[in-house]
């Protein structure tokens, strides 16, 4: 078996020494640019890559591109921090003191799909001590709040779900991953142009996401006597390429280990139309939303309770299940009112759903309360502060089993 290896950077005599082993590794090209490495990986001429260039040039976007084409890579560095960062990006790592046989063996293991050694094992010979693994919290839940095209009210649901969980003592992170129209910052009265979620993805791409970066990127917001962290969204939709799906997936995996609950407001559009255009891992407009839904522990699908919103929700759920067959979203109908549904709106909606909706019952119905919703938006606050006794708040809290005192006189509008 011959393993075609491309080399990035100045190899010195290492390439000759690898060739003299007369083993499976064959050096097929020397590259001065990372774009050459990607081109060879895309063309199918490379089985693996040996990276000898500056470690600072190696980021998550490059690692993801190689992984997309099924080309593993080994980086050579003596810097402990670089080694940890590159290993975190999924690259094999060897020190400059490693023998050519050791490098050849690792390239062969990775190219043939054999599981690589545990992170840090190949840097044990470094004179710099390897610190103990950072103690992680038990993995938290990721709750994705999604809705079909149209104004369904998914953001106010997401914001208040996060707030209610924080109020009962959970460590909560609220993430705005809507690449079409982020609005979490507005709902919470944050004048933030920095886009916390973009900062987190940038740190992830650089392999530098740590606790300090997490805390810098996420605002701390007071809600109902408690606090929650917020990763604000993109202030302008044209910045959507900053939320690469690979980076966002890594961010979600990182943050879920540091909080009890991650609530993510995600864009409505789900199409994978970009796959018809690109044969590479180029950024995809809807990649962020799909990455969130694929990573989610649970999906709440929010639709409007009217003659336009319900059919849109049905079609949207069909599309969601085509893309993610294992998805089992909890359906929530928002703005339930007599004026749009008729007498006994809950019963009418359930009967309609049983006849025309997909499998599964409606998990929740939220009453129309435009006064409370408008007051919360105007004040940049949450329902727990502006309408603490409202049924609207109680129903949202009930979606995560938080008991709230309720009032009577439902659906009076």
**The two three-digit tokens of residue 226, written as one number:** 């408690």
Which pLDDT score is estimated for 56?
A: 85
192, 96: one domain: no
| Ordered DSSP codes for 193-217 | -S-HHHHHHHHHHTT---HHHHHHH
Q: Are 247 and 204 in contact (CB under 8 A)?
A: yes
- Expressed as residue numbers, the domain containing 118 is 3-123
Classify burial at 262, counting beta carbons within 10 Å of its beta carbon; exposed 0-12, middle 13-18, buried 19 or more: buried
Domain-located, residue 405 = no
304, 200: one domain: yes
Task: Supply the mean pLDDT for the chain.
Answer: 86
Residues of the chain with pLDDT under 50: 115-138, 275-278, 405-413
102, 147: one domain: no
Number of domains composing the chain = 2
The angle at the Cα of 146, spanning 250 to 186, to the nearest 5 degrees, equals 85
Which pLDDT score is estimated for 17?
A: 87
**Pairing status of strand 219-223 against strand 261-266:** unpaired
Q: What's the pLDDT tens digit per position in 113-154?
A: 754 444 333 333 333 333 333 333 345 899 999 999 988 999
261, 150: one domain: yes
Which pLDDT score is estimated for 61?
A: 87
Q: What is the CATH number of the domain that holds 263?
A: 3.40.50.300
Which pLDDT score is estimated for 23?
A: 86
* CA distance readout (Å), 327 to 160, 320, 323, 345: 23, 8, 9, 28
Please say which residue of 93, 123, 153 terminates a domain.
123
- Distance, CA of 376 to CA of 115 (rounded, Å): 52
| pTM (2 d.p.) | 0.75
Residue with tokens 């001429």: 45
């Amino acid at each position: 078996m011959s393993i075609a290896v491309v080399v990035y950077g100045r190899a010195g005599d290492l390439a000759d020494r690898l060739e003299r082993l007369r083993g499976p590794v064959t050096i097929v090209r020397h590259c001065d640019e990372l774009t050459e490495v990607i081109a060879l990986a895309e063309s199918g001429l490379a089985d693996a890559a040996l990276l000898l260039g500056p470690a600072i040039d190696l980021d998550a976007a490059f690692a993801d591109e190689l992984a997309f084409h099924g080309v593993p890579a080994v980086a050579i560095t003596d810097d402990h921090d670089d080694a940890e960062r590159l290993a975190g990006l999924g690259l094999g790592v060897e020190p400059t003191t490693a023998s050519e046989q050791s490098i050849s063996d690792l390239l062969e293991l990775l190219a043939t799909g054999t599981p690589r050694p545990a992170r840090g094992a190949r840097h044990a010979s470094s004179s710099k001590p390897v610190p103990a693994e950072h103690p992680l919290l038990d993995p938290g839940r990721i709750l994705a709040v999604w809705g079909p095209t149209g104004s369904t009210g998914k953001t106010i649901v997401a914001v208040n779900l996060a707030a209610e969980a924080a109020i009962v003592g959970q460590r909560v992170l609220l993430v705005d991953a809507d690449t079409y129209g982020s609005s979490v910052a507005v709902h919470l009265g944050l004048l933030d142009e920095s886009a916390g979620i973009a900062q987190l993805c940038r740190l992830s791409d650089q392999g530098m996401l740590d606790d300090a970066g997490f805390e810098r990127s996420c605002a701390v917001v007071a809600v109902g006597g408690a606090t929650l962290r917020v990763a604000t969204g993109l202030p302008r939709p044209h910045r959507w390429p900053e939320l690469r799906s690979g980076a966002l997936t890594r961010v979600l995996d990182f943050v879920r280990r540091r909080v009890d609950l991650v609530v993510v407001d995600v864009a409505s559009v789900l199409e994978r139309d970009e796959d018809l255009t690109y044969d590479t891992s180029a950024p995809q407009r809807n990649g962020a939303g799909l990455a969130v839904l694929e990573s989610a522990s649970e999906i709440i699908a929010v639709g409007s309770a009217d003659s336009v919103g319900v059919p849109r929700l049905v079609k949207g759920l069909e599309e969601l299940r085509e893309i993610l067959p294992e998805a089992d979203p909890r359906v929530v109908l928002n703005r339930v009112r007599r004026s749009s549904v008729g007498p006994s709106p809950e019963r009418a909606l359930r009967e309609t759903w049983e006849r025309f909706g997909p499998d599964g019952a409606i998990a929740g119905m939220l009453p129309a309360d435009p006064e409370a919703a408008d007051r919360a938006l105007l004040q940049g606050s949450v329902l727990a502060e502006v309408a603490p006794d409202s049924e609207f708040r109680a129903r949202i809290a009930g979606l995560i089993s938080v008991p709230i005192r309720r009032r009577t006189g439902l659906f009076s509008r």
